[in-house]
A and B are shown apart, each in its own frame.
Chain A
Amino acid sequence: MSTTAPVGTGPRPTIVLVGHGMVGQRFLEALAERGLTATHRVVVLCEEPRPAYDRVQLTSYFAGRTPEELSVTDMEFIAEHGIELHIGDPAETVDRAARTVTARSGLTVGYDTLVLATGSFPFVPPVPGKDAEGCFVYRTIEDLLAIEEYAKARATTGAVVGGGLLGLEAAGALKGLGLTTHIVEFAPRLMPVQVDEGGGAALLRTIENMGLTVHTGTGTQEVVTGDDGAVTGMKLSDGSTVATDLVVFSAGVRPRDQLARDCGLTVGERGGISVDDQCRTVSDPQVFAIGECALASDGRVYGLVAPGYEMAETAAATIATVAATETDGVDGAAFTGADLSTKLKLLGVDVASFGDAHGAADDCLDVVYSDSRSGTYKKLVIGRNGELLGGILVGDADAYGTLRAFTGSVPPIAPEQLVLPAGAGAPVQLGPSSLPDEAIICSCHNVTKGAIRGAVTDHACTTVPEVKKCTKAGTGCGSCVKVLGQLVTSELEASGVEVDKGLCGCFPQTREELYEIVLALRIASYQQLLDRYGRDSARGGDGCEVCKPTVGSIIASLAPTIGAEGYVLDGEQAALQDTNDHFLANLQRNGSYSIVPRIPGGEITPEKLIVIGEVARDFGLYTKITGGQRIDMFGARVEQLPLIWARLVDAGFESGHAYGKSLRTVKSCVGQTWCRYGVQDSVRMAIDLELRYRGLRSPHKLKSAVSGCARECAEAQSKDFGIIATANGWNLYVGGNGGATPRHADLLAQDLSDAELIRLIDRFLMFYIRTADRLERTSTWLERIPGGLDHIRDVVVEDSLGICEELESLMTAHVAAYRDEWAETINDPEKLSRFVSFVNAPDTPDPVVGFVPERDQIKPDLPLLTIGTRPLEGSAQR
C-alpha cells in the first residue's frame, strides 16, 4: 500500500484518470500532445485486466484478431511519458474533500485533477433467470472469451436480446461461431435508433435471408433453465418460446456513474455524470468526466467513440489552458454536442445514418429509394432550402462519406441522384472534389477536407497511408478511407503530380490493362504486345525484367483461351520467364536449385516418401519439410534437375510449382476422417482444390488451406484463400497472408456446398488474376481496390459486373489444359538440352557450386563463391 500526499501535490501536480478505455487512452494522448505529461504526474486506474483496446472492433476477435492486435495502447508511449498505469486495479472511492482516490488494491493517490472515463455497462433487463449459466453480455474481451468458450463447449443455438447496433453485432458473432441464432427486439424493427421503418424492413429481409431468426415487437419475459441451472430457452412476451443454449443481453448500455454518485457528484435523472461545455463536472471544478459515462451539456449521453474522443480533447485542452493561464479555461475548447453519424457493417450489411436521420427538423422532406430485392434502402432528409440534413443508408452505404460531408449544405446535384444506384439514371458521381474545404471527412478524428488537402500540398504526402499518418484521418472506424483515397488522388492530380501508373519503363499500361488487352485481342506474343502497346521508346526493344515475366504470366494464365502454348518453356515464352520458371526449380544463393514435388493436401503414401528419401540420398540433397506440408530438396545442379525429375515423375510425382508465381499448396488438417472435432473431410477438399488450381499462373504466389472445423488447425485464415468446415458446409475466407505483413483473411461467404465453394474460388481467383498488380498478393490487392472486400463480394458473389460466367469459363479452360511441366520437359530432348551448366561443356559441373557438411546434411560452400572473382588479368588462352 502506498499513499501520496493529498491536496496540492507539489511542483508536479497530479492528474488521475479513472478508466482506461478508448476515451481514456485518447485523453492520455491528448495530454502528451499538449506537453502535460512532462509537467504533471499522471496516474491511471484501469479496471480491466489489459490496457485500453479497440472496443469498436471488438467483434473482429471472432474474425481472428487477437486481443493483442485489438490493443490501442502503445506501451512505449506509456513508458516514454512516465504514465503510471495500474492494470486490473479499479478505483473504489473518491474523497473529494481530501482530493484522493482509493483503488481496490488499497492504493491511494492524491489528485489535483481527477478525470472519470468509466464508460458504460450493459443493461440487463431484470427478468427471471438473467444470471443463469449461459447468460452473457457483450462489452469486453473477457465477455467474448467466455461466450466463445461456452458456445464451443455446449451450445448449438444462441439468442440475442436486443436488435440494436450491438445486438446485431453479437448475433453476427454467434452465427460465426456456428450457432443457430435468434434475435429478440422489443421495438417493432431492428436498429430502432439508427434507422426508420423502411430501413428496418430492408435490414430484416437481408438478415433473415442469412438464416437468422428475428422476433421483433416482443420482449424477453424469462430465461428458462434446465436441471443443471444452465439456460435452455426463453419465454417471450407474445407467449412464444425460443429454445436456446446461450443468451447474450444487448439491450442497451447505462453510464457507469456509481463512483461519481458515491462521492456526491451530480448525475442526470437517467444516469450520466453531468458536465459543462469543458467536460468538467457541474459539481466540482477539479473533476472531469469524459466518454460514455458523461452527460454532456446538451443533455445527452453519447454512446459512440467519436464524441468521446472530442470530450477527451476538450478536457485535455481545458486542463492545459488552466495550467498555463491559471484561468478557468472556459474560453477555450468546448464540447457542446456531437454528430451521431455512424456507418457500420452488421452481419455483412452496410448500415449508415447521419445528421438528422429521422427528419426531426421542421418542414423537412424525404427522398427515398428502396429496393427490397437487393435489400437496399436509402433515405435523405432535405431541409426547406434544399440543404441536406441527414439520411439513412441500408444495404449500400458507399455514398456515406460524401453525403455526410455535405450535411448542412446544398449538394451540387439533385438529391434523388444521390440515392439512385449507379446505372439507374444516376449519371452524376458526386466526387469529393465538389466538397467544401471545411467538410469533415473523418469524423472519428475530426479531420476536414482542407486538412487532408494540406497534407498533400504542404506535407508532400503522396499516398493514403502517408496521409493517414500525417492527419490521423481514416485511423478510427475506417469508414472514410474510400473518400480519402479519392481525395488524395484528385489532389495529387490537381497539384500536377503526374501519377504514372504504367507497369514499367516499357509499358504505360497497368498489369490489369495489359491483361485486358491480351484477353480481348488474343495476343499471345510478348514482342507483338510490346511493339503495339509499349511506350514509343520501348517498341522494338528487348523489354525488361519487370514486364517480361509479368506478360509471360498473363499469357500463361490465359493460354488455353488465347491459343498460346500452355507450357512455360515453349517458343518465345521461354525467354520471358524468371530463372526459376525457366529451370522449373528454385534458384538458391550459390547457383544451385531446390526441388519441391507436389504433395496435394499434404497427404503422401509411405512408398512416395521413400522415393523422395532415396532420390535425396542418391543425389546428396539437403531435405527440409516446408511450411506448406511438403518436402524441399536443396542443392541440385542444373544438369541434375532432369535426372532427379525422371525418378520423381516415374514414381508418380509432378511439379509442385514452388518456383512459379502460381498455386503453391493447399494445406489441410486431417479433418473429420480422423479428428474427433472435424465436421467435414478437409483433406479431400484440399486435394481437390490443389489439383484444380495447380499450375495456375497468377500475379503472385497463391497459398491455401482447409481446416476441418472452427479450431482452424490448418491456419486457413492466413492464406490467400482459406476454407473452414462448418456443420453445413464450408466458409470461404480470402485475402489472408502470413509473412512480413500478416493479415487475417476476410470471410467471403458461409456454409457453401462443395460445388458452390469451388465456383466461388474459381471466380475469386480469376478476378484476382485479372485485376491485381504485378507481385501483388491477394491481401494487398483486396485492400487496394476501390470498395475492397465489398466490391469483390459484389463481383464474385452477386455478379454485379456480369463477368462471372467468363471468369468461370477461363478457369474451366485452365483446368482442362493443365499438363505437368516436368513430365513434358523430361520427354523433350530439345528442352532438356538447356539443363546444362555450360553450353560448351555439358558434362562439367559449375565449379562454384560446392557443398560442405552440416548437421549430417549438406550446406552451400560459401567460400567458393568468393574465389576467383578478381578482375581478369591475363588474356584467355586457347
Chain B
Amino acid sequence: MTLAPETTTLRIQLRPATPTTSAVSSSAVDDDWFAVCDLSMLIPGRGVAALLPDGRQAALFLDRAGRMYAIDNRDPFSGAAVLSRGLTGTHQGRPFVASPLLKQRFDLESGRCLDDDSVTVTTYEVRAR
C-alpha cells in the first residue's frame, strides 16, 4: 500500500438490503458486510461493478451529493451484466440508473423498474468506512 490521504483509504462495503431468514447472518451482525473497493474508485454520476463472493454482481453508484447506492448488476431485460455502465439521474427526487442496453430505468433505492412495474432488481446497503 502506498501512502495516500486518509479519505482515499475509506473502503466501500456492501450487504443485501433485505434482511434474510438465514439463521447464521443477521443484519445486526456487523460482519456480514463485504468490502468492495476504495471510495476513490467511484466517479460521481457513474457506476462500477463488483463481484460478490456468491458469484453475483453488484452495480455501485455515487451521486453528486456523495450518496452511494448498490443494486444487482444484471439487467433483467437483457440478462447482461451491464447496469453499472448505465447513466444515472434524478427522477422526481429519487435516484435512478438507465440500462445502457434498452434504456429501462431502475430506482437505485428500491430497485423498482420505473418503466415496468412488474420488474424489480435486488438492492444492497452500502457504507464507507
Interfacial residues of chain B within 66-113, with CB under 8 A of chain A in the complex: 72, 74, 76, 78-82, 85-93, 95, 98, 100-101, 103, 105
Contact with A along B42-76 (1 / 0, CB 8 A): 01111011111111110010011000000010101
CB atoms of B80 and A838 under 8 A apart: no
CB atoms of B82 and A544 under 8 A apart: no
CB atoms of A576 and B74 under 8 A apart: no
Contacts of B52 in A (CB 8 A): 876
Give the Cβ gap from B85 to chain A, nearest Cβ, in Å: 4
Give the Cβ gap from B41 to chain A, nearest Cβ, in Å: 5
Q: Confirm or deny: A285 has a beta carbon within 8 angstroms of a beta carbon on chain B.
A: no
B22 nearest CB neighbor, chain A only: A875
The residue among B16, B48, B49, B79 with the most chain A CB atoms within 10 A of its own CB is B79
CB atoms of B82 and A591 under 8 A apart: yes
B103 nearest CB neighbor, chain A only: A545
- With known contacts A542-B64, A583-B85, A587-B85, A869–B79 Cβ distance under 8 A: yes
Binds B, one of A297-305, A491-499, A844-852: A844-852
Give the Cβ gap from B93 to chain A, nearest Cβ, in Å: 8
Q: Confirm or deny: A878 has a beta carbon within 8 angstroms of a beta carbon on chain B.
A: yes
A543 nearest CB neighbor, chain B only: B89
Q: Confirm or deny: A486 has a beta carbon within 8 angstroms of a beta carbon on chain B.
A: no
- With known contacts A544-B90, A548-B89, A846–B36 Cβ distance under 8 A: no
- With known contacts A542-B88, A575-B44, A587-B101, A876–B56 Cβ distance under 8 A: yes
Q: How far is the CA of A548 from the CA of B15 in the complex (A)?
A: 30
CB atoms of A877 and B53 under 8 A apart: yes
Give the Cβ gap from B96 to chain A, nearest Cβ, in Å: 8
CB atoms of A543 and B105 under 8 A apart: no
Give the Cβ gap from A634 to chain B, nearest Cβ, in Å: 14
CB atoms of B25 and A591 under 8 A apart: no
The residue among A505, A541, A866, A869 with the most chain B CB atoms within 10 A of its own CB is A541
CB atoms of B63 and A591 under 8 A apart: no
CB atoms of A840 and B37 under 8 A apart: yes
Contacts of A875 in B (CB 8 A): 15-16, 20, 22, 25, 32
- With known contacts A848-B79, A875-B16, A579–B45 Cβ distance under 8 A: no
CB atoms of B54 and A877 under 8 A apart: yes
Contacts of A578 in B (CB 8 A): 87, 100
Tally of B interface residues using CB under 8 Å: 54
Q: Confirm or deny: A671 has a beta carbon within 8 angstroms of a beta carbon on chain B.
A: no
CB atoms of A840 and B50 under 8 A apart: yes
Contacts of A869 in B (CB 8 A): 74, 76, 79
Contacts of B54 in A (CB 8 A): 874, 876-877
Q: How far is the CA of A804 from the CA of B83 in the complex (A)?
A: 43
Question: Which listed residue (B15, B85, B88) contacts A876, Cβ 8 A?
Answer: B15
Give the Cβ gap from B35 to chain A, nearest Cβ, in Å: 8
Q: Confirm or deny: A538 has a beta carbon within 8 angstroms of a beta carbon on chain B.
A: yes
Question: Which listed residue (B34, B41, B55, B81) contacts A878, Cβ 8 A?
Answer: B34
Contact with B along A857-878 (1 / 0, CB 8 A): 0000010111011011111111
Q: Confirm or deny: A692 has a beta carbon within 8 angstroms of a beta carbon on chain B.
A: no
Q: How far is the CA of A80 from the CA of B60 in the complex (A)?
A: 59
CB atoms of A865 and B43 under 8 A apart: no
Contacts of B43 in A (CB 8 A): 574-575
CB atoms of A589 and B101 under 8 A apart: yes
B14 nearest CB neighbor, chain A only: A876
CB atoms of B122 and A865 under 8 A apart: no
CB atoms of A878 and B31 under 8 A apart: yes
Contacts of A572 in B (CB 8 A): 45
CB atoms of B16 and A872 under 8 A apart: yes
Contacts of A841 in B (CB 8 A): 50-51
CB atoms of B56 and A872 under 8 A apart: yes
Q: How far is the CA of A727 from the CA of B110 in the complex (A)?
A: 66
Q: Confirm or deny: A837 has a beta carbon within 8 angstroms of a beta carbon on chain B.
A: yes
B82 nearest CB neighbor, chain A only: A591
Q: How far is the CA of A545 from the CA of B47 in the complex (A)?
A: 13
Question: Which listed residue (A527, A575, A837, A847) contacts B46, Cβ 8 A?
Answer: A575
Question: Which listed residue (A846, A849, A878) contacts B32, Cβ 8 A?
Answer: A878
Q: Confirm or deny: A590 has a beta carbon within 8 angstroms of a beta carbon on chain B.
A: yes
Q: How far is the CA of A837 from the CA of B44 in the complex (A)?
A: 18
CB atoms of A838 and B86 under 8 A apart: no
CB atoms of A582 and B85 under 8 A apart: yes
Q: Confirm or deny: A178 has a beta carbon within 8 angstroms of a beta carbon on chain B.
A: no
Q: How far is the CA of A538 from the CA of B93 in the complex (A)?
A: 8
Q: Is the interface of A mostly helix, strand, loop or mixed?
A: loop
The residue among A590, A591, A848 with the most chain B CB atoms within 10 A of its own CB is A591
Q: Confirm or deny: A119 has a beta carbon within 8 angstroms of a beta carbon on chain B.
A: no
- With known contacts A589-B78, A848-B81, A544–B91 Cβ distance under 8 A: yes
CB atoms of A582 and B46 under 8 A apart: yes
Question: Which listed residue (B31, B64, B122) contacts A527, Cβ 8 A?
Answer: B64
Contact with A along B16-33 (1 / 0, CB 8 A): 100010100100000110
CB atoms of B82 and A587 under 8 A apart: yes
CB atoms of A543 and B90 under 8 A apart: yes
A871 nearest CB neighbor, chain B only: B122
Q: How far is the CA of A548 from the CA of B97 in the complex (A)?
A: 12
Q: How far is the CA of A840 from the CA of B105 in the complex (A)?
A: 25
Q: Confirm or deny: A839 has a beta carbon within 8 angstroms of a beta carbon on chain B.
A: yes
Give the Cβ gap from A833 to chain B, nearest Cβ, in Å: 8
CB atoms of B56 and A542 under 8 A apart: no
CB atoms of B60 and A868 under 8 A apart: no
Give the Cβ gap from B117 to chain A, nearest Cβ, in Å: 16
Q: How far is the CA of A370 from the CA of B98 in the complex (A)?
A: 58
CB atoms of B90 and A542 under 8 A apart: yes
Contact with A along B112-125 (1 / 0, CB 8 A): 00000000001000
Q: Confirm or deny: A549 has a beta carbon within 8 angstroms of a beta carbon on chain B.
A: yes
A544 nearest CB neighbor, chain B only: B89
- With known contacts A869-B74, A874-B54, A875-B16, A548–B87 Cβ distance under 8 A: yes
CB atoms of A542 and B36 under 8 A apart: no
CB atoms of A839 and B36 under 8 A apart: yes
Contacts of B51 in A (CB 8 A): 837-838, 840-841, 844
Q: How far is the CA of A668 from the CA of B51 in the complex (A)?
A: 46
CB atoms of A839 and B49 under 8 A apart: yes
Q: How far is the CA of A839 from the CA of B86 in the complex (A)?
A: 16
Give the Cβ gap from A528 to chain B, nearest Cβ, in Å: 12
Contacts of A847 in B (CB 8 A): 55
Question: Which listed residue (A540, A549, A848) contacts B80, Cβ 8 A?
Answer: A848
- With known contacts A549-B87, A578-B100, A876–B53 Cβ distance under 8 A: yes
Give the Cβ gap from B57 to chain A, nearest Cβ, in Å: 7
Q: How far is the CA of A301 from the CA of B34 in the complex (A)?
A: 89
Interfacial residues of chain A within 563-580, with CB under 8 A of chain B in the complex: 572, 574-576, 578-580
CB atoms of A545 and B16 under 8 A apart: no
Contacts of A866 in B (CB 8 A): 79
B124 nearest CB neighbor, chain A only: A876
Q: How far is the CA of A543 from the CA of B32 in the complex (A)?
A: 34
Q: How far is the CA of A589 from the CA of B79 in the complex (A)?
A: 9
Give the Cβ gap from A534 to chain B, nearest Cβ, in Å: 10
CB atoms of B79 and A865 under 8 A apart: yes
Contacts of A548 in B (CB 8 A): 45, 87, 89
Contacts of A846 in B (CB 8 A): 49, 57, 81
Contacts of A574 in B (CB 8 A): 43, 46
CB atoms of A876 and B16 under 8 A apart: yes
The residue among A576, A579, A839, A864 with the most chain B CB atoms within 10 A of its own CB is A839
Given contact pairs A849-B80, A875-B16, A876-B54, a sample of 15 additional A-B residue pairs in the complex whose CB atoms are under 8 Å apart: A542-B95, A543-B89, A545-B88, A572-B45, A574-B43, A574-B46, A575-B43, A579-B82, A589-B80, A838-B57, A841-B50, A862-B79, A869-B74, A875-B25, A876-B14
Q: Enumerate 18 A-B pairs (CB-CB under 8 Å) in ascending A order.
A: A540-B64, A541-B93, A545-B87, A548-B87, A575-B45, A580-B100, A587-B101, A839-B37, A840-B50, A846-B57, A849-B80, A862-B79, A865-B79, A868-B55, A875-B20, A875-B25, A878-B31, A878-B34
Residues on A lying within 8 angstroms of B by beta carbon are: 505-506, 527, 537-538, 540-545, 548-549, 572, 574-576, 578-580, 582-583, 587, 589-591, 833, 837-841, 844, 846-849, 862, 864-866, 868-869, 871-878
Sort A-B residue pairs by CB-CB distance and give the 3 closest, nearest first: A865-B79, A575-B45, A541-B90
